[in-house]
Amino acid sequence: MKYISTRGQVEPVGFEDAVLMGLADDGGLLIPETIPDVSDRLSDWRGLGYADLAIAVMGEFVDDIPAEEFAGIVRRTYADAFPADVAPLVQVGDAWVLELWHGPTLAFKDVALQLLGNLFEAALARRGGRLNVLGATSGDTGSAAIYGCRGRSGIEVFMMHPAEGVSEIQRRQMTTVLDENIHNIAVRGTFDDCQRIMKTIAADVEFKRRHAIGAVNSVNWARVLAQIVYYVWAALRLGERTGSAQVQFAVPTGNFGDILAGWYAMKMGVPIDRLILATNENDILCRFFQTGEYSLGEVHKTLSPSMDIQVASNFERYLYYRLGEDPRKLSQTMADFGRTGKLAVPTGEDGTVDGDFRAGRGDTEATLATIGRVWREQEYLLDPHSAVGVHVGLACRDAGKPLVCLATAHPAKFPDAIRTATSEDLAHHPKIDHLHELPTRCAVLDSDVQAVREFVEETLG
Ligand SMILES: *Cc1c(COP(=O)(O)O)cnc(C)c1O
């Protein structure tokens, strides 16, 4: 499988090069040249365990790593980092919750970033050289990337987070990792500032080459790919357990990486009826799927900080397909968006933007009410991100088909919200309870590309 850029200015590359490149050198995003149809494989895949299913699903997109080696990397990833199940399905009321937070940092991003760390290490071992990972995080990506790469030889990680935009626990999950190859940077700005700095540096091809800069953000294709697996997993499991031919997924959404994986699964022929996109007050994507217009607003701070973004970095991948797989049109649209902060796609005659999606938003009130109600009625504790998904999922579901709500973080990461919602101190996990005792390390920089560039250069010597 070759990978091409949404902006069309990069020669097609193999999977491993795509993973090492992160953001495409022309500023676009890398996507597979074709989307494989796996519908006639699904019955063979039904009995597979998670790791074997991951090898089969991802194997459709990887042909430049020896098959045995790739299988070893995947098996090692899911055995080491997920001592229990990777993605258990739990029935909660008349919906299903897919718990994706059983990895080391208690958020779904571990599923992809543990794999990415192993892929980087294997590629460097085979090819030689080193990799300097530059990332921007609104919370959970940072710690998951840091845990995916900590202590690995040949890899340095520079992780920016907004100085005021992550929770105390999220900050500590990152800054308590003292491995010498991990460099946390608190940027005096918002997550979008961090992301802009990262994109600017990543678009500087000369700097990027000189310092072997790679990306772990959700723009990295391996992240999307690893996430496709659990949609296939849940659809197969639920098909068995409920006898339903099709399932629907509700996905708490920020950067559009997670739900995009679900969309790829759908296009691969996995029996998914609809994808329900759930946002908090930062609802640019919700408004897009309701009206066809994608227009920037202000960033609001909410109880679900990992969804507090306006520009969704993975949206460009979706838009590429939506605009007829035309890189010129896409580039023009993105350039216009950069200038005006707005873009629009034509809607169907009935006003539908895309029949594959429904969209809704869950504000602070709805988030707290959902956490409280699900706890009282089902004795199941949702974190605030997952609660947004459940709230919108229940509102937008087709009642005739099973609904899977993606649980993207463990509630112990957000104890204040849980206390507000339930009036009880219920959210604990040993990994989180220890954090406040540990020493931390972090640099603080202005929201300025040059400051970050210099920090990277100085650190690398
Ligand atoms: C990152 C994150 C999300 C949003 O996922 P995207 O891929 O950015 O849409 C939702 N919930 C949690 C807990 C997250 O960490």
- List the alpha helices (DSSP H) in 82-162: 109-127, 140-149
Residue 25 has pLDDT above 90, yes or no: no
Q: What's the pLDDT score for residue 245?
A: 87
> In 122-246, at which residue ranges do the beta strands (DSSP E only) sit?
131-136, 155-162, 182-188, 213-215
Beta carbons of 405 and 454 less than 8 angstroms apart: no
Question: 165 C-alpha to center of ligand 1: Å?
Answer: 15
pLDDT tens, residue by residue, 26-83 = 889 999 999 999 999 999 999 999 999 999 999 999 999 999 999 999 999 999 999 8
The amino acid sitting at 187 is V
Calculate mean pLDDT across residues 365-383: 98
Q: Among residues of the chain, what percentage have pLDDT more than 70?
A: 100
Q: Which helix (H) or strand (E) holds 393?
A: helix 384-396
Report how far apart, in Å, the C-alpha atoms of 272 and of each of 89, 232, 247, 250, 291 are.
Answer: 16, 9, 5, 11, 23
Give the span between the Cα atoms of 79 and 56, in whole angstroms.
16
DSSP codes of every residue in 325-351 = S-HHHHHHHHHHHHHHSEEE----TTS
Q: Under 8 Å CB-to-CB from 352, ≥6 apart: which residues?
A: none
- What's the mean pLDDT in 244-263? 96
pLDDT confidence band for 216 (50 / 70 / 90) = low
Among 109, 208, 401, 413, the active-site one is: 109
pLDDT at 4: 97
Compute the distance from residue 138 Cα to the ligand 1 centre, in Å: 9
pLDDT at 90 over 70: yes
Q: Tell me: the pLDDT tens digits for 104-121?
A: 999 999 999 999 999 999
State how far the Cα of 190 lies from the Cα of 17, in Å rounded to an integer.
Answer: 31
pLDDT of residue 217 exceeding 80, the answer is: no
**Average pLDDT over all residues of the chain:** 94
Predicted pLDDT of residue 155: 94
Nearest CA to ligand 1 atom 14: 306
What residues flank ligand 1, with Cβ below 6 Å? Answer: 107, 109, 140, 218, 252-258, 306-307, 385, 408-409
Strand partners for 101: none
| pLDDT at res. 140 | 76
Pocket test of ligand 1: the residue of 97, 105, 108, 225 to mutate, having most ligand atoms within 8 Å of its CB, is: 108
* Cβ contacts of 141 within 8 Å, gap of 6 or more: 109, 113, 135, 216, 217, 218, 306
Strand 403-407 relative to strand 247-252: parallel, antiparallel, unpaired?
parallel
What is the distance in A from the centroid of ligand 1 to the CA of 254? Answer: 6
pLDDT (0 to 100) of residue 409: 96
Give residue 435's Cα distance to chain centre. 24
Q: Find where tokens 């899977």 sit.
A: 404
Q: How many angstroms separate the alpha carbon of residue 414 from the centre of ligand 1?
A: 14
d(CA 254, CA 14): 28
Mean pLDDT to the nearest integer, 199-219: 83
Tell me: pLDDT of 358 over 80: yes
Query: What is the pLDDT, as a whole number, of residue 254?
Result: 94
Residue 401 appears among annotated catalytic residues:
no
Instruction: Give CA–CA dist 95/330, Å, rounded.
Output: 37
Q: Return the residue whose CA atom lies nearest to atom 2 of ligand 1.
A: 306
